Structure 1
Amino acid sequence: MSENASASFEGPEKKLKVTFAPDAPSLRAHPRAAWDAVLAAAGASVVSSARDAHWDAYVLSESSLFVSDHSATLITCGQTRLVEAVQPLLALAPAGALSQLLYARKSEHYPEQQATRFDEDAARLSALLGGRAREASVRLGHGEHFVDLFHASAPGASRRPDMTLEVLMHAPDPAACAAFAAERAPAAHALVADMVPGFALHEHYFEPQGYSVNGLRDGAYVTLHVTPEPEGSYVSFELQGPLGGSLPVDAARAVATLSAVFAPRSLEVLTYAPGHRGGEGGAQADEWAVDVPGYSVVTREHHVAADYALLFTQLRPSAAP
């Protein structure tokens, strides 16, 4: 997604979500320089920013950063070293304030170009946490495309009443990716605005190619990243927001629109809901389970990740051999 994207740019992303206790000082009170330092550790920088009453949102040279009072979600692509950002990010809150940490790496097209492997990152995170939290690692999916996930939660940590949808797409239709070029900006904006109505969007078109957009609405955020490449094109989408309201409807609409527009050869859908599956008072990730026309389920997995109920669904086109 970088302005210096090469023919072998790595679209599949790494993701870090850190949540702190509700009585910790607000992360949004930190100056911009503190976040620049976190991003520099990962090898990313801010391209543009926006904010509302709930979130500070940043489009980055490599994907996005979202900061609320007590959580931060950092998504980076390319050859970024996201694990290096964890220590400076944790330092922005008091010791002992950590509630939950999620760290994911999507299977890369060019793993040999990455500075570390997932198992090395997981060992680094475990050492940083120093036994302060329950932790585990899991691989979601199988075959060529998968997600490696490290998750940790502090004993007795409060559960966040939010839900998250991720849609990860390998080998999207080249014509669909071309629609997100700068010279076709009005059409791209209209497509995203129709898919997630009511979100205030801010976009960036990269040179020579690539598109990122963040959106904010009523405590929710959305982000879409399109990485067209001669080989290894990739598209990712994320929607997060508080429980209730129109979010499940937004999620179903987004999955249907994304699959129809991009027609990827590989589609993975992840949903996170608070409370482990079947747990008392826990919303079910299954509420966001969707059937995708033209696609068949390869695998559907339930996991518990940092006290979230996680539903992972891997799909392929029904007509594929």
Structure 2
Amino acid sequence: MVSPTATDLNEGIAAHETSYAVNHEASVNIDSSSAFEGPEKLLEVWLAPDRFSLPSFMSADGLKAVPRKDWEDMLDLVHCKVLSVIGTDEMDAYLLSESSMFVFPHKLILKTCGTTTLLAGLPRLLKLANEVAGYPADVEPWRVFYSRKNFLFPDRQLHPHRSWKDEVKYLDKHFSNGSAYMVGRINSDHHWYLYSTKRDATIKSSSTVTVPIDGRFEDETLEILMTGLDPTKAAQFYNDRLVPETASDHSSSSSSSGELDPGHVGGAEVTSRCGLSKLYPFSRIDSFSFSPCGYSANGVTDHSHNYFTVHVTPEPHCSYASFESNVPASVSKMTPWEVISYVVGIFGPSQFSVTMFETRGSKASFADVSSNTLGPAIKGYTRLDRIVYELDEYDLVFLAFKKD
């Protein structure tokens, strides 16, 4: 497997120079040498089922109309920084110092790890949706999802993330129709928390806006959360790069420069070496290799809303990796089971869980296929749990596996 050179990478960026920006100041001195909370907090705020269902008086670009500086101010409240951004017609994909953010016209996905205070950014997010994108302040979002795996170091979290009870209480202050769930075995390493809302379709605001809920949209998201990574495979996500003496020159350069810093160059090399570049070869990937270890990547497909994101904490005492994607089988030409097998093969975890959200009635439903107790199988693993929820127009499937 041949790793790309810096020249190759810059040529690739030149072809998309209007949609790639590197923040050298934030990325040049990123260090991950201490014990780290890999499991992420994940927030999705939907203003409508799709961009075509947004109120007509809103900005045509919806949330994409919000300037990058405003998002960076919001992320300051979360305690993370933007490292770089790639974009498509349908979304902007932000690679962060602690995971990722995806901004679509009709929704925002924010995923942060460590001791970030993700929910502290929620009020600012809703304010930007109103003041910049034009979403009515007196209308709750169409849907909101907040989820996370159980933390490895829960005592290190900050308000409002000190406990699931505190997180639910905080969310209930902002949304009137939320439900909270704990999914999986509470006495195991893999259980999962979910907060989900659905706006009452009969509610009309003073501005006479009613966001349509008619089941026209299709949505599916696959998430794989892995712990106890195989040491040999985890070693791929260490590096020995040193910050060059010329780092100060990079730090003072424009954050919109297409020139890559060592973290991004190393990220591209890791992407190729570990095999992630072959999973969705039709995608563009923005990745970063942290020093002395750790890895993050966002992948996007041009002219579409499809994305995937990967984050790795390889230290033996807290090893963790996550994978999330909304790339459908019709695009990838792979079943969800094939994707799961490929990703798990990269990391070799001792345990992992899978969550699959899909709109009800999807073809080749993951909920139906996963019900077969004899298979499909993940080679080298035994399935421990299969839990299915019906959440309004969605099916949620939770699966847990351990290594044989």
Please report the TM-score for the alignment, with normalisation by the length of structure 2.
0.72
Cα distance between partner residues in 1 of 2:368 and 2:300 = 23
Question: Which position in structure 2 is the counterpart of 1:261?
Answer: 346
Q: 1:245 to 1:152 in 2, by over 3 A?
A: same
Please state how far the C-alpha of 1:261 moved relative to its aligned partner: 2.3
Report the Cα distance in structure 1 between the residues aligned to 2:30 and 2:117, rounded to whole angstroms.
18
- For residue 278 of structure 1, what is the aligned residue in structure 2? none
2:295 aligned residue (211, 215, 226): 211
Instruction: Give the structure 2 partner of residue 107 of structure 1.
Output: 150
1:188 aligned to 2:271?
A: yes
Contact 2:308 2:326 in 1 (8 A): yes
The alpha carbon displacement at 1:99 in A equals 0.8
Q: Which residue is 1:85 aligned to?
A: 121
Question: Which residue of structure 2 lines up, in the alignment, with residue 65 of structure 1?
Answer: 101
2:190 is aligned with 1:145: yes
- Farther-moved stretch of structure 1 (178-187 vs 54-63): 178-187
Q: Would the aligned equivalents of 1:285 and 1:310 in 2 still touch at CA under 8 Å? A: no
- The answer (yes or no) to whether the contact 2:42–2:147 under 8 Å persists in 1 is yes
What whole-Å deviation, never above 9, does each CA across 1:31-79 have from its counterpart, x for those lacking one? 1122112211211110111001111001101000001110111100000
Gaps of 5+ in 1: 276-280
Separation (CA, whole Å) in 1 of partners of 2:336 and 2:369: 7
What is the distance in 2 between the residues matched to 1:287 and 1:198?
28
Work out the percentage of aligned pairs sharing the same amino acid.
29
AA at the equivalent of 2:92 = D
Give the AA of the match of 2:367. Answer: D
How many angstroms does 1:204 deviate by? 0.7
Checking the alignment, whether the CA contact within 8 Å between 1:195 and 1:253 is kept in structure 2 is: no
8 A Cα contact 2:102 2:108, kept in partner:
yes
Report the equivalent of 1:293.
379
Return the alpha-carbon distance in structure 1 between the equivalents of residues 362 and 169 of structure 2. Answer: 30
Residue 118 of structure 1 is matched in structure 2 by 164
- The two structures, once aligned, show a CA RMSD in angstroms of 2.2
The 2-side partners of 1:199 and 1:152 are apart by 32
Contact 2:354 2:400 in 1 (8 A): yes
| Alpha carbons 1:100, 1:306 under 8 Å: kept | no
| 1:167 maps to amino acid | I
* 1:43 matched to 2:79: yes
Q: 2:70 aligns with which of 34, 53, 62?
A: 34
Query: Relative to 1, partners in 2 of residues 1:223 and 1:125: Cα closer, same or farther, differing over 3 Å?
Result: same
CA distance in structure 2 between the partners assigned to 1:42 and 1:77 by the alignment: 10
The question of whether the paired residues in 1 share the 8 Å contact of 2:33 and 2:293 is answered with no
Q: Equivalents in 2 of 1:8, 1:90: separation in Å?
A: 33
Other-structure match for 1:136: 179
**Could you give the per-residue CA deviations for residues 79-124 of structure 1, whole angstroms, max 9, x where no partner exists?**
0011112221122132215111110121111100001212101111
| TM-score computed with the length of structure 1 as normaliser | 0.89
Q: Say if 2:306 is the partner of 1:270.
A: no
Which secondary structure does the structure 2 equivalent of 1:179 belong to? Answer: helix
| Cα distance change of structure 1 residues 193 and 244 upon mapping to structure 2, 3 Å threshold | closer
Q: Which structure shows the higher strand fraction?
A: 1
Q: Is the 8 A contact 2:98 2:113 kept in 1?
A: yes
Given that 1:226 and 1:234 are in contact with CA atoms closer than 8 Å, whether structure 2 keeps it comes out as yes
Partner of 1:201: 285
- In the aligned structure 2, how far is the partner of 1:32 from the partner of 1:287? 41
Q: Counterparts of 1:51 and 1:27 in 2: how far apart (Å)?
A: 14
For the pair shown, the structure with the greater C-alpha radius of gyration is: 2
Consecutive unaligned residues in structure 2, runs of 5 or more: 1-26, 130-134, 202-211, 241-265, 371-375
Separation in structure 2 between the aligned mates of residue 175 and residue 147 of structure 1, nearest angstrom = 27
1:19 alignment partner, one of 43, 46, 64: 46
Provide the rounded CA distance (Å) in 2 between the counterparts of 1:61 and 1:287. Answer: 38
Equivalenced residues, count: 309
Deviations 1:188-227 (A, max 9, x none): 3251111122111111111121111100113200011111
Summarize the Cα distance change of 1:55–1:204 in structure 2 as closer, same or farther, 3 Å threshold: same
Contact 2:99 2:311 in 1 (8 A): yes
**CA distance in 2 between partners of 1:27 and 1:5 (Å):** 31
Moved more, 211-220 or 251-260: 251-260
User: Residue by residue, what CA displacement relative to the aligned partner does 1:259-289 show, whole Å, maximum 9, x if unpaired?
Assistant: 22211111101110013xxxxx456442674
Query: Equivalents in 2 of 1:113, 1:264: separation in Å?
Result: 24
Aligned to 2:222: 165
CA change 1:250–1:37 in 2 (3 A) is: farther
